[in-house]
């Protein structure tokens, strides 16, 4: 999956607010939209190489979107919506290693007052899936979230309710970088999310993780990785 048609190189300068970055492109300072509102600790540091999509338009506040940042020897995506796009593409191709046997699926499915990323139809029941993008990684360990997430807690609670009604329910964590070997709840940042994720695991909500292969122009799902919840390890959606 390509990030865009017209991709240019830049040097990150600073981030005035969550959605805006100052970047040097070809010796000139420009403003770029930052699609990930998270804190992105350890990534957006002054002097880092970045890649941007140049896509001017009459309704855009900036002509650029910051999509990649160089972190050591790898590129890291700063485009969280690509997590959903990658999972959708894998569902269409039926290549996800942990979700198999469904007859069809739908995106952005509304249930009462909530909306879920995907609904899969299996012979015996339905499965509801939420996708979470993971950007914070330390020594191969991905951590979600990197900022408190009331929305994430709400989703996990609702998945528990669906699971209690006989549906399958799952959270798929997608780390848009190749150095992630496992993913866990970040209790230091949001202990409430970690608590509810553990409750979800105990109530039968399945937890899965994937890392990604990222090139200067493309991103693709790479390998399934282990998901932990801070207290007891979980692999392939099953307790150990």
Q: Could you tell me which of 130, 132, 144, 153 has the C-alpha nearest to residue 41?
A: 144
Residue 240 confidence (pLDDT):
35
Helix H or strand E segment including 92: helix 81-93
113: left (phi over 0), alpha (psi -120 to 50) or beta: alpha
**pTM, full prediction:** 0.91
> In the CATH scheme, what is the code of domain 7-77?
2.40.50.580
Answer whether residue 233 shows pLDDT above 70.
no
Instruction: State the Cα–Cα distance between residues 229 and 155, nearest whole angstrom.
Output: 16
Instruction: State the Cα–Cα distance between residues 239 and 236, nearest whole angstrom.
Output: 8
First to last CA, the chain: 34
Residue 4 confidence (pLDDT):
86
**Mean pLDDT of the 212-223 span:** 96
Alpha-carbon 103 to chain mean position: 25
Q: What DSSP string runs through 15-74?
A: EEETTEEEEEETTEEEEEE-S--S--TTTS-TT-EEEEEE---TT-S-SEEEEEEEETTE
High-pLDDT (> 90) share of the chain, %: 85
Q: Mention the CATH class of domain 81-239.
A: alpha beta
Residue 61 confidence (pLDDT):
86
Contacts of 111 (CB under 8 A, 6+ apart): 128, 158, 162
Instruction: Look up tokens 């804190």; give the residue.
Output: 39
Answer whether residue 101 shows pLDDT above 70.
yes
pLDDT class of 196 with cuts at 50, 70, 90: very high
Answer whether residue 37 shows pLDDT above 90.
no
pLDDT class of 39 with cuts at 50, 70, 90: confident
pLDDT tens, position by position, 46-77: 999 999 999 888 888 899 999 999 999 999 99
- Domains of the chain, by residue range, sit at 7-77, 81-239
pLDDT tens, position by position, 109-150: 999 778 999 999 999 999 999 999 998 999 999 999 998 999
């Amino acid at each position: 999956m390509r990030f865009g048609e017209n991709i240019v190189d830049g040097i990150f300068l600073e981030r005035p607010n969550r959605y805006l970055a100052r970047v040097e492109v070809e010796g000139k300072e420009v403003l770029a939209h930052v699609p990930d509102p998270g804190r992105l600790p350890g990534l957006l540091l002054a002097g880092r190489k970045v890649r941007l999509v140049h896509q001017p338009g009459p309704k855009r506040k900036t002509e650029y979107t910051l999509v990649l940042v160089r972190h050591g020897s790898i590129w890291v995506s700063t485009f969280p919506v690509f997590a959903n796009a990658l999972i959708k593409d894998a569902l269409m191709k039926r290549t996800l290693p942990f979700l198999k046997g469904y007859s069809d699926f739908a995106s952005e499915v509304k249930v009462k007052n909530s909306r879920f990323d995907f609904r899969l139809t299996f012979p015996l029941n339905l499965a509801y899936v939420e996708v979470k993008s993971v950007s914070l990684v330390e020594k191969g360990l991905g951590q979600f979230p990197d900022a408190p997430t009331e929305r994430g807690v709400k989703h996990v609670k609702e998945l528990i309710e669906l699971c209690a009604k006989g549906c399958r329910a799952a959270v798929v964590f997608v780390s848009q970088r190749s150095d992630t070997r496992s993913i866990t709840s970040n209790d230091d940042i949001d202990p409430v999310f970690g608590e509810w994720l553990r409750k979800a695991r105990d109530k039968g909500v399945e937890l899965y993780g994937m890392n990604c292969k990222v090139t200067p122009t493309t991103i693709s799902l790479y390998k399934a990785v282990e998901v932990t919840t801070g207290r007891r390890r979980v692999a392939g959606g099953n307790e150990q």
